[in-house]
Amino acid sequence: MRIVVDTNIAFSAILNTNSRIAQIILRPKTRLNFYSTDQLLAEIHEHKNKIQQLSKYSDTELDRIIHLITSKIRFINIHLIPKETFLKCEALAKDVDIDDTEFVALTDHCRGRLWSGDKELIKGLSKKQWDKFITTEELYNISKFKK
């Protein structure tokens, strides 16, 4: 199953490596394939100081954990997404959260599901009949105890 990881999901996994979110991402031998765009890496870098303040990790620990989490995600160049798909998703996201356009477009392009904790994004796109979200609970149930 193709899962597009939104930035807030990655932040949650980095901040708490014992959380269900981190367990799902870090679980070995899963049938879940995680994808994102370089926007996720840029946002982690942009908010690294805040993440460090919240987590109380040392520089070395934080770098190790960021690498651990992001190494489980395959990063796709947004230029591989057809322009029509990107523009359609940009129109969908523009009045909800334009910053999430890349994640929505990647989800459409790879025929996956978007894993996001952004309630406003979920509510806004659901109103527009875009229903390609998956919850942490659904992913946990899919991934737990599956060998």
Backbone angle region of 58, left / alpha / beta, with phi > 0 → left and psi within -120 to 50 → alpha: beta
Separation CA 93–CA 99 (nearest Å): 8
Q: Could you tell me the domains of the chain?
A: 2-143 (3.40.50.1010)
pLDDT in tens, 108-124: 999 999 999 999 999 99
Separation CA 62–CA 10 (nearest Å): 13
Q: What is the pLDDT of residue 44?
A: 96
Separation CA 56–CA 126 (nearest Å): 36
- How is residue 17 written in tokens? 């490596």
pLDDT in tens, 73-103: 999 999 999 999 999 999 999 999 999 999 9
- How is residue 147 written in tokens? 């060998």
pLDDT band at 147 (very low <50, low <70, confident <90, very high): very low
Given the structure tokens 């765009």, which residue do they identify?
A: 37
Q: Give the closest residue to 135 by CA, choosing from 120, 114, 121.
A: 114
Q: Give the closest residue to 3 by CA, choosing from 55, 64, 54, 76.
A: 76
Query: Kind of pairing, strands 33-36 and 133-134?
Result: unpaired
